[in-house]
Amino acid sequence: MSKKPMPTQLPRERAFLVGVDLANESNLLSMEDSLLELSLLADTAGLSVVGQATQRLNHPDPETFIRSGKVQEVKDLVEENMADMVLFDEELSPRHQRELEKIFKDVRILDRSGLILDIFAQHASTREGALQVELAQYEYLLPRLTRAWTHLARQAGGGGGRAGSVGGVGLRGPGETQLEVDRRVIRQRISHLKGELEKVRSHRHQYRSRRRKAEIPIIALVGYTNAGKSTLLNHLSDADVYVADQLFATLDPTTRRIGLPGGRQILMTDTVGFIQKLPPTLVAAFRATLEEIAEADLLLHVVDISHPNALAQAKVVRQTLEEIGVHDLPVVTALNKVDLLPDGRSVLDQLDDFERGVGVSAMTGEGVETLLSVIEEEMYEQLSPICVSLPYKEGQLISLFHEQGIVERIEHEDSSVQITGRLPTRLLTDFERFEIREPSS
């Protein structure tokens, strides 16, 4: 008898990908690049991709999204490759999903949104993250709930079986009743989750208020998923944020204190990565987290400059920021992973495509000091010029000026100190009750 050890892990599910190029939609990534990204998402979710098919359409088929001929072709390929699921690179309507499930029978149908939601569910490690993902999942599931109860129509007991009709008398009523009960339960759960997330949102607001009282500038890290935001935060702050070479490795925001070259302290917050075709339910559910971005003083946009679609990914990030109402904050761009650039390809050739772009490597540290200097310069441009006389007894304000502002000149007088320099605009009200002069040029 063989003593060969048996595998302890379940085999990975096999997924067959379907991509569609719609003539009436403008995507930043080509269909081929989008399918490659879907393949990476599938790998992150623990799936094994066994094949793919594509089709170009003017508009989706009203019943099955792709044309009937392509459906049969995919069905044959799925059987040939023994796939467990068909993964579409677009969001399917409930009707599309229902009709496709009838055709593919025991093979599961999943769209891009459902896959991203599953990945988020796997990576949600905190209560806040779990609440946000669960809310998004229920809101995604609710309009698709009918497919979960198709087994009621296939039962053949009682009057329905004798009538010889599918879903006959004695089955339609209970099926509909159960469906409505389930919908009501889900709506109640959605309402509960929204209430819990409002508490989270309130807590985050209080936390941000305390940070504001500390008068420390806040910088939000934003970027496409897997651009290297967490790695960069770890390098800048000696933090231990989880890092992995996969999409959506981290979901929960992490804030760390970082010192700038001139001695000023800032808070830097890592946020969830963006991706094209991000499910709207996720954007809504992660509102409390995304508010961290809107409350920032400056955005540090991290771009994987070694990626062939770096410019398109950067545009996706900018579009998503506009969708959540963040469009007027100053931006510095960290063009990350310069150490992975192919020979002969210089980051200098692409700087014009990005706002305040700086080439860095979060892994090796190359360019990080220059990046911090550019951040400090950008923060300086946001400061307002001021010349103020402060009594010596106002030591707290004098310290605040030194810590949060830039002192250009200081003169000690008999009962006060005159400071000329720059301060964050939000701090000017703290100095209004003292003698303020126009800074001399």
CA angle, corner 228, sides to 197 and 281, nearest 5? 30
pTM, whole model, 2 decimals? 0.75
Task: Identify the pLDDT of residue 384.
Answer: 83
Taken in order of first residue, the domains within the chain and their CATH numbers are: 13-122 (3.40.50.11060), 213-380 (3.40.50.300), 383-437 (no CATH)
Average pLDDT over residues 177-188: 82
Task: Identify the pLDDT of residue 252.
Answer: 63
Of 23-32, 141-150, 245-254, 296-305, where does the model show the most confidence?
296-305
73 or 235, which is more confident? 73
In this structure, of 17-21, 117-121, 340-344, 421-425, the range with the lowest mean pLDDT score is 340-344
pLDDT above 90 coverage of the chain, percent: 28
437 or 347, which is more confident? 437
282 or 173, which is more confident? 282
Average pLDDT over residues 405-418: 86
Closest to 216 measured CA to CA, from 269, 167, 254: 269
Asked whether 130 and 120 are in contact (CB, 8 A), the reply is no
Asked whether 315 and 28 are in contact (CB, 8 A), the reply is yes
The H or E element that residue 321 is part of is helix 310-323
Give pLDDT tens digits for 55-66.
999 999 999 999
Asked whether 211 and 267 are in contact (CB, 8 A), the reply is yes
Give the Cα separation of 179 and 168 in Å (integer): 16
203 pLDDT above the threshold of 80: no
Q: How confident is the model at residue 7 (pLDDT cuts 50, 70, 90)?
A: low
123 pLDDT above the threshold of 90: no
Q: How confident is the model at residue 288 (pLDDT cuts 50, 70, 90)?
A: low
> CA dihedral in degrees (42, 47, 51, 54; nearest 10)?
-30
